[in-house]
Amino acid sequence: MTLAAHAPVLRQQLLAWWEAHGRRHPEQKPWMVCVHGGRFGGTEPLDPYPIWVAEVMLQQTQLQVVLPYWRRWMAAFPSLELLAAAEEHDVLLLWQGLGYYARARRLHQGARQLREAAAAPGGSTTDPWPRALEGWLALPGIGRSTAGSILSSAFDLPHPILDGNVKRVLARLIASPRPPARQLKGLWQLSELLLDPQRPRAFNQALMDLGATLCTPRNPSCGACPWRGHCAAYASGAPAAYPVKDAPRELPFQVIGVGVVRNGAGEVLIDQRLNEGLLGGLWEFPGGKQEPGEPIVATIERELREELAIEAEVGEELISLEHAYSHKRLRFVVHLCTWLSGEPQPLASQQVRWVRPEQLEEFPFPAANARIIAALQARLGLEPGRAAHAGRSAA
Protein backbone atom coordinates (compact mmCIF):
# COMPACT_ATOMS: atom_id res chain seq x y z
CA MET A 1 0.00 0.00 0.00
CA THR A 2 1.12 3.58 -0.67
CA LEU A 3 1.57 6.29 1.95
CA ALA A 4 -1.55 7.94 0.55
CA ALA A 5 -3.56 4.87 1.52
CA HIS A 6 -1.96 4.87 4.97
CA ALA A 7 -2.45 8.63 5.53
CA PRO A 8 -5.60 8.33 7.69
CA VAL A 9 -3.91 5.80 9.96
CA LEU A 10 -0.72 7.86 10.17
CA ARG A 11 -2.74 10.92 11.17
CA GLN A 12 -4.60 9.00 13.84
CA GLN A 13 -1.43 7.47 15.26
CA LEU A 14 0.44 10.76 15.37
CA LEU A 15 -2.40 12.70 16.99
CA ALA A 16 -2.99 9.98 19.60
CA TRP A 17 0.71 10.08 20.50
CA TRP A 18 0.67 13.86 20.64
CA GLU A 19 -2.37 14.00 22.89
CA ALA A 20 -0.44 11.90 25.41
CA HIS A 21 3.15 13.04 24.91
CA GLY A 22 3.24 16.28 22.89
CA ARG A 23 4.51 19.63 24.07
CA ARG A 24 1.01 20.91 24.81
CA HIS A 25 1.41 22.57 28.20
CA PRO A 26 1.25 26.40 28.15
CA GLU A 27 4.65 26.55 29.86
CA GLN A 28 6.21 24.67 26.94
CA LYS A 29 4.69 26.80 24.18
CA PRO A 30 3.16 29.85 25.85
CA TRP A 31 2.20 31.34 22.48
CA MET A 32 -0.15 28.40 21.85
CA VAL A 33 -2.78 29.29 24.43
CA CYS A 34 -6.47 30.04 24.29
CA VAL A 35 -7.97 33.35 25.34
CA HIS A 36 -8.62 31.99 28.83
CA GLY A 37 -4.96 30.99 29.14
CA GLY A 38 -5.33 27.20 28.98
CA ARG A 39 -3.89 24.76 26.49
CA PHE A 40 -5.42 24.86 23.04
CA GLY A 41 -7.60 22.01 21.91
CA GLY A 42 -10.44 23.11 19.67
CA THR A 43 -10.62 25.15 16.50
CA GLU A 44 -10.90 28.59 18.10
CA PRO A 45 -8.50 31.21 16.72
CA LEU A 46 -5.39 32.01 18.74
CA ASP A 47 -3.60 35.36 18.89
CA PRO A 48 -1.37 35.50 15.76
CA TYR A 49 1.09 38.05 17.17
CA PRO A 50 2.84 35.89 19.81
CA ILE A 51 2.78 32.95 17.38
CA TRP A 52 4.42 35.02 14.65
CA VAL A 53 7.14 36.19 17.05
CA ALA A 54 7.77 32.63 18.23
CA GLU A 55 7.89 31.20 14.71
CA VAL A 56 10.49 33.74 13.62
CA MET A 57 12.57 33.13 16.74
CA LEU A 58 12.38 29.38 16.17
CA GLN A 59 13.98 29.73 12.74
CA GLN A 60 17.49 28.30 13.29
CA THR A 61 17.01 28.18 17.10
CA GLN A 62 15.75 25.49 19.49
CA LEU A 63 12.65 25.88 21.62
CA GLN A 64 14.40 25.89 25.02
CA VAL A 65 16.76 28.64 23.86
CA VAL A 66 13.89 30.70 22.46
CA LEU A 67 11.60 30.61 25.51
CA PRO A 68 13.31 33.24 27.72
CA TYR A 69 13.85 35.53 24.74
CA TRP A 70 10.20 35.19 23.73
CA ARG A 71 9.04 36.03 27.26
CA ARG A 72 11.25 39.12 27.43
CA TRP A 73 10.10 40.19 23.96
CA MET A 74 6.41 39.87 24.87
CA ALA A 75 6.99 41.83 28.08
CA ALA A 76 8.63 44.66 26.12
CA PHE A 77 6.47 44.55 22.97
CA PRO A 78 3.19 42.85 23.93
CA SER A 79 1.35 43.99 20.79
CA LEU A 80 1.85 44.60 17.10
CA GLU A 81 1.32 48.32 17.64
CA LEU A 82 4.06 48.60 20.27
CA LEU A 83 6.52 46.65 18.13
CA ALA A 84 5.78 48.80 15.09
CA ALA A 85 6.34 51.96 17.16
CA ALA A 86 9.61 50.74 18.70
CA GLU A 87 13.07 51.98 17.79
CA GLU A 88 15.27 49.50 15.93
CA HIS A 89 17.98 49.98 18.57
CA ASP A 90 15.64 48.65 21.27
CA VAL A 91 14.51 45.74 19.08
CA LEU A 92 18.08 44.63 18.39
CA LEU A 93 19.12 45.07 22.02
CA LEU A 94 16.32 42.77 23.14
CA TRP A 95 17.36 40.19 20.51
CA GLN A 96 21.02 40.28 21.56
CA GLY A 97 22.45 36.79 22.03
CA LEU A 98 19.73 35.00 20.06
CA GLY A 99 21.67 35.29 16.80
CA TYR A 100 20.65 35.72 13.17
CA TYR A 101 19.81 39.34 13.87
CA ALA A 102 18.21 39.90 10.48
CA ARG A 103 15.20 38.08 11.95
CA ALA A 104 14.70 40.88 14.49
CA ARG A 105 14.93 43.58 11.84
CA ARG A 106 12.45 41.72 9.64
CA LEU A 107 9.99 41.28 12.50
CA HIS A 108 10.21 45.00 13.12
CA GLN A 109 9.76 45.79 9.43
CA GLY A 110 6.88 43.32 9.19
CA ALA A 111 5.08 44.94 12.12
CA ARG A 112 5.27 48.32 10.43
CA GLN A 113 4.15 46.79 7.13
CA LEU A 114 1.10 45.21 8.78
CA ARG A 115 0.28 48.44 10.60
CA GLU A 116 0.45 50.43 7.35
CA ALA A 117 -1.71 47.88 5.51
CA ALA A 118 -4.29 48.01 8.30
CA ALA A 119 -4.43 51.81 8.14
CA ALA A 120 -4.79 51.85 4.34
CA PRO A 121 -8.22 52.04 2.66
CA GLY A 122 -9.89 48.66 2.92
CA GLY A 123 -7.69 47.58 5.81
CA SER A 124 -8.79 46.68 9.32
CA THR A 125 -7.11 48.24 12.33
CA THR A 126 -8.87 45.75 14.61
CA ASP A 127 -7.73 42.67 12.65
CA PRO A 128 -4.55 43.27 10.63
CA TRP A 129 -3.68 39.59 10.29
CA PRO A 130 -3.65 37.86 6.87
CA ARG A 131 -5.69 34.70 6.44
CA ALA A 132 -4.05 33.66 3.15
CA LEU A 133 -0.57 32.31 2.52
CA GLU A 134 0.24 35.17 0.14
CA GLY A 135 -0.40 37.75 2.85
CA TRP A 136 2.22 36.24 5.12
CA LEU A 137 4.70 35.61 2.31
CA ALA A 138 4.58 39.34 1.57
CA LEU A 139 6.19 40.04 4.96
CA PRO A 140 10.00 40.16 5.17
CA GLY A 141 11.66 36.96 6.36
CA ILE A 142 8.57 34.76 6.02
CA GLY A 143 8.82 31.68 3.84
CA ARG A 144 6.25 29.06 2.97
CA SER A 145 6.83 26.87 6.03
CA THR A 146 6.73 29.74 8.54
CA ALA A 147 3.62 31.16 6.86
CA GLY A 148 1.92 27.75 6.91
CA SER A 149 2.82 27.23 10.54
CA ILE A 150 1.39 30.62 11.56
CA LEU A 151 -1.83 30.07 9.62
CA SER A 152 -2.37 26.56 10.98
CA SER A 153 -1.37 27.52 14.54
CA ALA A 154 -3.34 30.75 14.79
CA PHE A 155 -6.38 29.98 12.64
CA ASP A 156 -6.41 26.16 12.32
CA LEU A 157 -6.16 26.47 8.54
CA PRO A 158 -4.92 23.49 6.48
CA HIS A 159 -1.45 24.55 5.35
CA PRO A 160 1.48 22.11 5.31
CA ILE A 161 4.82 22.91 6.93
CA LEU A 162 8.40 21.85 6.24
CA ASP A 163 10.78 23.09 8.91
CA GLY A 164 13.99 21.30 9.88
CA ASN A 165 12.29 18.84 12.23
CA VAL A 166 9.61 17.97 9.69
CA LYS A 167 12.14 17.49 6.89
CA ARG A 168 13.97 14.95 9.04
CA VAL A 169 10.80 13.06 10.02
CA LEU A 170 9.52 12.83 6.45
CA ALA A 171 12.92 11.96 4.97
CA ARG A 172 13.16 9.05 7.43
CA LEU A 173 9.58 7.99 6.86
CA ILE A 174 10.37 7.29 3.19
CA ALA A 175 14.13 6.65 3.64
CA SER A 176 14.83 9.30 1.03
CA PRO A 177 18.05 8.53 -0.87
CA ARG A 178 18.72 12.24 -1.37
CA PRO A 179 19.42 15.05 1.12
CA PRO A 180 16.25 17.00 2.02
CA ALA A 181 17.53 20.13 0.27
CA ARG A 182 17.47 18.17 -3.00
CA GLN A 183 14.08 16.62 -2.32
CA LEU A 184 12.05 19.67 -1.31
CA LYS A 185 9.29 19.28 -3.87
CA GLY A 186 8.66 15.68 -2.87
CA LEU A 187 8.78 16.46 0.85
CA TRP A 188 6.31 19.34 0.42
CA GLN A 189 3.97 16.97 -1.41
CA LEU A 190 4.31 14.42 1.38
CA SER A 191 3.66 17.02 4.09
CA GLU A 192 0.54 18.12 2.25
CA LEU A 193 -0.58 14.53 1.72
CA LEU A 194 -0.30 13.64 5.41
CA LEU A 195 -1.79 16.86 6.81
CA ASP A 196 -5.03 16.26 8.66
CA PRO A 197 -7.56 18.59 6.99
CA GLN A 198 -9.85 18.39 10.02
CA ARG A 199 -7.17 19.19 12.64
CA PRO A 200 -4.31 20.97 10.82
CA ARG A 201 -3.22 22.94 13.89
CA ALA A 202 -2.88 19.87 16.07
CA PHE A 203 -1.32 17.79 13.29
CA ASN A 204 1.40 20.31 12.47
CA GLN A 205 2.21 20.79 16.14
CA ALA A 206 2.39 17.02 16.55
CA LEU A 207 4.65 16.65 13.53
CA MET A 208 7.08 19.28 14.85
CA ASP A 209 7.01 17.75 18.33
CA LEU A 210 7.73 14.30 16.91
CA GLY A 211 10.86 15.61 15.22
CA ALA A 212 11.98 17.62 18.23
CA THR A 213 11.48 14.96 20.91
CA LEU A 214 11.68 11.48 19.32
CA CYS A 215 12.92 11.67 15.72
CA THR A 216 16.01 13.61 16.73
CA PRO A 217 19.13 14.04 14.56
CA ARG A 218 21.15 11.59 16.66
CA ASN A 219 19.93 8.53 18.55
CA PRO A 220 16.25 8.72 17.53
CA SER A 221 13.86 7.10 20.01
CA CYS A 222 12.27 4.76 17.49
CA GLY A 223 10.84 2.48 20.16
CA ALA A 224 8.43 5.22 21.27
CA CYS A 225 7.59 6.51 17.78
CA PRO A 226 3.96 6.18 16.64
CA TRP A 227 5.12 5.86 13.02
CA ARG A 228 7.66 3.12 13.64
CA GLY A 229 5.60 0.53 11.80
CA HIS A 230 5.46 2.67 8.65
CA CYS A 231 8.98 4.12 8.74
CA ALA A 232 11.28 2.96 5.95
CA ALA A 233 14.38 4.27 7.75
CA TYR A 234 13.49 2.20 10.82
CA ALA A 235 12.89 -0.84 8.62
CA SER A 236 16.35 -0.38 7.12
CA GLY A 237 17.89 -0.99 10.53
CA ALA A 238 19.84 2.29 10.43
CA PRO A 239 17.38 5.15 11.03
CA ALA A 240 20.13 7.53 12.15
CA ALA A 241 21.68 7.23 8.67
CA TYR A 242 18.77 9.36 7.43
CA PRO A 243 18.34 12.02 6.28
CA VAL A 244 21.18 11.47 3.83
CA LYS A 245 23.71 14.28 4.03
CA ASP A 246 25.94 15.91 1.48
CA ALA A 247 29.66 15.56 2.08
CA PRO A 248 30.69 18.23 4.62
CA ARG A 249 32.55 21.17 3.19
CA GLU A 250 35.41 22.87 4.94
CA LEU A 251 34.48 26.31 6.22
CA PRO A 252 36.73 29.18 5.18
CA PHE A 253 38.85 30.61 7.99
CA GLN A 254 39.71 34.27 8.49
CA VAL A 255 41.64 36.26 11.08
CA ILE A 256 40.06 39.56 12.11
CA GLY A 257 42.07 42.31 13.74
CA VAL A 258 39.98 44.35 16.20
CA GLY A 259 40.85 47.60 17.94
CA VAL A 260 39.35 48.67 21.26
CA VAL A 261 40.17 52.35 20.83
CA ARG A 262 40.10 54.63 23.88
CA ASN A 263 40.48 58.40 24.02
CA GLY A 264 41.91 60.62 26.73
CA ALA A 265 38.59 60.68 28.57
CA GLY A 266 38.57 56.88 28.83
CA GLU A 267 35.74 56.50 26.31
CA VAL A 268 35.63 53.61 23.84
CA LEU A 269 34.97 53.95 20.10
CA ILE A 270 32.25 51.76 18.58
CA ASP A 271 30.54 51.78 15.20
CA GLN A 272 27.18 50.53 13.93
CA ARG A 273 27.13 48.12 11.01
CA LEU A 274 25.13 48.88 7.89
CA ASN A 275 21.63 47.39 7.78
CA GLU A 276 22.58 44.44 5.62
CA GLY A 277 23.79 40.89 6.09
CA LEU A 278 23.70 38.59 9.10
CA LEU A 279 24.71 41.18 11.69
CA GLY A 280 23.27 44.32 10.09
CA GLY A 281 22.42 47.16 12.45
CA LEU A 282 24.49 45.85 15.36
CA TRP A 283 27.30 47.74 17.04
CA GLU A 284 30.88 46.47 17.13
CA PHE A 285 34.46 47.39 17.82
CA PRO A 286 36.16 48.47 14.60
CA GLY A 287 38.43 46.11 12.69
CA GLY A 288 38.67 43.91 9.65
CA LYS A 289 40.30 41.00 7.82
CA GLN A 290 44.02 40.39 8.05
CA GLU A 291 45.71 40.44 4.65
CA PRO A 292 48.16 37.63 3.73
CA GLY A 293 51.51 38.22 5.40
CA GLU A 294 50.28 41.28 7.28
CA PRO A 295 51.12 41.62 11.01
CA ILE A 296 47.96 41.90 13.07
CA VAL A 297 49.03 45.30 14.46
CA ALA A 298 49.31 46.59 10.89
CA THR A 299 45.86 45.14 10.13
CA ILE A 300 44.27 47.08 12.99
CA GLU A 301 46.09 50.31 12.10
CA ARG A 302 45.01 49.99 8.46
CA GLU A 303 41.38 49.18 9.27
CA LEU A 304 41.07 52.11 11.68
CA ARG A 305 42.47 54.39 9.01
CA GLU A 306 40.32 53.02 6.15
CA GLU A 307 37.02 52.63 8.04
CA LEU A 308 37.16 55.50 10.54
CA ALA A 309 39.81 57.93 9.22
CA ILE A 310 41.69 57.92 12.51
CA GLU A 311 45.23 57.24 13.63
CA ALA A 312 45.73 55.13 16.73
CA GLU A 313 48.56 53.50 18.63
CA VAL A 314 47.97 49.74 18.83
CA GLY A 315 48.90 48.46 22.27
CA GLU A 316 48.77 45.13 24.05
CA GLU A 317 46.48 42.25 23.15
CA LEU A 318 43.25 42.19 25.17
CA ILE A 319 41.79 38.86 24.06
CA SER A 320 41.89 36.36 21.20
CA LEU A 321 38.82 34.28 20.51
CA GLU A 322 37.31 32.09 17.81
CA HIS A 323 33.73 32.13 16.59
CA ALA A 324 31.99 29.91 14.06
CA TYR A 325 29.13 30.92 11.81
CA SER A 326 27.26 28.60 9.48
CA HIS A 327 29.39 29.70 6.53
CA LYS A 328 32.81 30.60 8.00
CA ARG A 329 35.10 30.46 11.03
CA LEU A 330 36.70 33.57 12.45
CA ARG A 331 39.50 34.29 14.89
CA PHE A 332 39.30 37.72 16.47
CA VAL A 333 42.61 39.13 17.72
CA VAL A 334 41.75 42.15 19.85
CA HIS A 335 44.20 44.85 20.92
CA LEU A 336 43.78 47.85 23.18
CA CYS A 337 44.43 51.05 21.21
CA THR A 338 44.97 54.71 22.04
CA TRP A 339 43.38 57.32 19.79
CA LEU A 340 45.96 59.77 18.42
CA SER A 341 44.31 61.96 15.77
CA GLY A 342 41.47 62.33 13.30
CA GLU A 343 37.76 62.82 13.94
CA PRO A 344 36.15 59.36 13.61
CA GLN A 345 34.08 59.09 10.41
CA PRO A 346 31.60 56.30 9.53
CA LEU A 347 33.24 55.51 6.19
CA ALA A 348 32.02 51.89 6.21
CA SER A 349 29.25 52.00 8.82
CA GLN A 350 26.07 53.84 9.77
CA GLN A 351 27.52 55.85 12.62
CA VAL A 352 30.32 55.94 15.18
CA ARG A 353 30.17 56.88 18.82
CA TRP A 354 32.42 57.39 21.83
CA VAL A 355 30.88 55.72 24.90
CA ARG A 356 31.88 55.02 28.47
CA PRO A 357 32.91 51.36 29.00
CA GLU A 358 30.05 50.87 31.47
CA GLN A 359 27.58 52.03 28.78
CA LEU A 360 28.51 49.29 26.31
CA GLU A 361 25.75 46.97 27.50
CA GLU A 362 23.20 49.55 26.36
CA PHE A 363 24.04 48.73 22.74
CA PRO A 364 23.23 45.54 20.80
CA PHE A 365 26.44 43.68 19.93
CA PRO A 366 27.12 40.34 18.21
CA ALA A 367 28.01 37.52 20.57
CA ALA A 368 31.75 37.63 19.83
CA ASN A 369 31.87 41.35 20.68
CA ALA A 370 30.07 40.64 23.95
CA ARG A 371 33.05 38.51 24.99
CA ILE A 372 35.34 41.38 24.11
CA ILE A 373 33.27 43.67 26.32
CA ALA A 374 33.55 41.19 29.17
CA ALA A 375 37.35 41.11 28.78
CA LEU A 376 37.50 44.92 28.69
CA GLN A 377 35.32 45.26 31.77
CA ALA A 378 37.49 42.74 33.61
CA ARG A 379 40.64 44.62 32.58
CA LEU A 380 39.18 47.90 33.85
CA GLY A 381 37.84 46.33 37.04
CA LEU A 382 34.21 47.08 36.16
CA GLU A 383 31.27 45.02 37.32
CA PRO A 384 30.22 42.89 34.31
CA GLY A 385 26.70 43.48 33.02
CA ARG A 386 24.44 41.70 30.59
CA ALA A 387 26.99 42.00 27.81
CA ALA A 388 29.37 39.72 29.67
CA HIS A 389 27.04 36.75 29.35
CA ALA A 390 25.16 37.55 26.14
CA GLY A 391 27.76 35.65 24.14
CA ARG A 392 26.73 32.32 25.66
CA SER A 393 23.90 32.00 23.14
CA ALA A 394 24.40 31.24 19.46
CA ALA A 395 25.44 34.13 17.26
Give the three-class secondary structure for 316: strand
Q: Are 60 and 91 in contact (CB under 8 A)?
A: no
**Residue 286: half-sphere exposure toward Cβ, Cα within 13 Å:** 34
**Per-residue burial over 37-54, b = 16 or more CB atoms within 10 Å of its CB, e = otherwise:** eeebeeeeebbbbbbbbb
How are beta strands 268-272 and 311-324 bridged, if at all?
Answer: unpaired
Closest CA to 204 of 37, 23, 65: 23
Give the burial class of 204: count Cβ atoms within 10 A of its Cβ; 0-12 exposed, 13-18 middle, 19 or more buried: buried
Query: Measuring CA to CA, how many Å separate 332 from each of 10, 56, 296?
Result: 50, 29, 10
How are beta strands 329-341 and 311-324 bridged, if at all?
Answer: antiparallel
55 is an active site residue = yes
Quote the CA–CA distance of 370 and 360 in Å, as a whole number: 9
Q: Which helix (H) or strand (E) holds 12?
A: helix 3-21
Closest CA to 298 of 284, 314, 285, 286: 314
Q: Which helix (H) or strand (E) holds 268?
A: strand 268-272
Q: Which of 55, 284, 301, 303 is catalytic?
A: 55
Quote the CA–CA distance of 206 and 187 in Å, as a whole number: 17
Q: Which residues carry out catalysis?
A: 55
